[in-house]
Amino acid sequence: MRIGFVGAGKVGFSLGKYMSERNVCVSGYYSRELESARQASVFTHSKYYETLEEIIESSDALFLTVPDGAIEDVWNSIKTYSLTGKFICHCSGVMTSAVFSEIDQMGAFGYSIHPLFAVNSKLQSYQEISQAFFTIEGSEKHIGYWKDFFENLGNPVRLIRADQKVLYHSAAVFVSNLVTGLFETGVDLLMACGFDRESGETALKPLFMNNCLSVSRLGAVDALTGPVERADIKTIEKHLNVLPEREREIYIRLSEVLAGVAKQKHPERDYDVLMQYLKGMEN
């Protein structure tokens, strides 16, 4: 299996390096920015191509590692060539293989292959992709091959239906991007207490990191601490009395979720009064 990458950004760099280090044949890279393709080829000890036709001819599978908004346009360019027997894959979390219009008539097979992982560095993220869970959606005919492919690299894999992709991706956003928003909210509140940004971030980092590690190690139920777990309405009321409207709404909504988690952790404890209180605080 010769795998080529169309697009030489963070995902293309990282997946190509990850695969090449595990003895997968990476044929090389094509990019509108020739220098980016050249750099990726050096990084992965592969080739770079000056035309789409060349990389298509040299590859059994193409991974379109381009921004979501560019996938359809790149596909429309690719499908003007002979693709019989080729695998065409993209790595979008939210888009499905349906973006590869008319692929069946071309004798090719389309897949959405998404690493559940924040790829934030061209040169370093590949070192951690071994921890990533992969989800795969696409043509039934060879989907088992791709499942085996990534499991043989050492990654857990889940097959997913096309109609599940958007909900699946929203789950990833909750524990990735939205958590960043919560951290920023905490920093803003400390700055309102007189901290500058640097000292606020420094103060919150150990709390943030240790809690993330605890959740990942123990799970949400066993890692839960704080006033919701204790059903401490008096403390929660004090918080709500001082929070600005936007932060107050976030606090209430997340506390309702945590009340359900707390009930799992302490089934013997009565959380009904707390839940009713939080419901009454909704705008």
Same domain, 114 and 154: yes
Q: Is residue 169 part of a domain?
A: no
Domain assignment present for 168: no
Q: In CATH, what number is assigned to the domain containing residue 192?
A: 1.10.1040
Q: What is the model's pLDDT at position 5? A: 98
In a domain, 118, yes or no: yes
Mean pLDDT of 85-107: 96
The residue among 53, 43, 52, 1 whose CA lies nearest residue 18 is: 43
R_g of the chain computed on alpha carbons = 23
pLDDT reported for residue 192? 97
159: in domain: yes
170 is a domain residue: no
What pLDDT shows up at residue 44? Answer: 96
DSSP calls for 177-217 = HHHHHHHHHHHHHHHTTT--HHHHHHHHHHHHHHHHHHHHH
pTM: 0.88
Q: Could you say which of 163, 197, 229 is where a domain stops?
A: 163
Q: Judge if 132 and 191 occupy the same domain.
A: no
When pLDDT is cut at 50, 70 and 90, the band that residue 120 belongs to is confident
What is the overall mean pLDDT for the chain?
96
Q: Are residues 155 and 191 in the same domain?
A: no
The owner of tokens 């089934």 is: 267
We report the CATH number of the domain holding residue 51 as: 3.40.50.720
Average pLDDT value for residue range 171-195: 96
Which tens digits make up the pLDDT trace of 67-92? 999 999 999 999 999 999 999 999 99
pLDDT band with cut points at 50, 70 and 90 for residue 147: very high
Shared-domain flag, residues 159 and 182: no
Quick one: pLDDT band at residue 189, thresholds 50, 70, 90? very high
Same domain, 141 and 262: no
Asked whether residue 53 falls in the same domain as residue 90, the answer is: yes
| pLDDT value, residue 255 | 97
Whether 185 and 255 share a structural domain: yes
Q: Where among 163, 194, 215 does a domain terminate?
A: 163
Residues 97 and 210 reside in one and the same domain: no
Query: What average pLDDT score do residues 241-262 get?
Result: 96
Point out the domain boundary residue: 132, 163, 194: 163
pLDDT in tens, 263-274: 999 999 999 999
User: What confidence tens digit (pLDDT) does each residue in 25-36 have?
Assistant: 999 999 999 999
Where residue 137 falls (left for φ over 0; alpha for ψ -120 to 50; beta otherwise) is beta
- How many folded domains does the chain comprise? 2
Question: Which residues form the domain of 255?
Answer: 175-281
Whether 108 is covered by a domain: the verdict is yes
**DSSP H or E segment with residue 57:** helix 52-57
**Residue 94 belongs to some domain of the structure:** yes
Task: Report the pLDDT value the prediction gives residue 234, as an integer from 0 to 100.
Answer: 96
Residues 90 and 115 placed together within one structural domain of the fold: yes
Contacts of 266 (CB under 8 A, 6+ apart): 229
Shared-domain flag, residues 135 and 215: no
Residue 282 has what pLDDT?
Answer: 83
Q: Give the whole-number percent of the chain exceeding pLDDT 70.
A: 100
Looking at the structure, do residues 211 and 155 belong to the same domain, yes or no?
Answer: no
On whether residue 36 sits in a domain, the answer given is yes
Alpha-carbon distance of 90 to 65, in angstroms, equals 6
Residue 194 and residue 150 share a domain? no
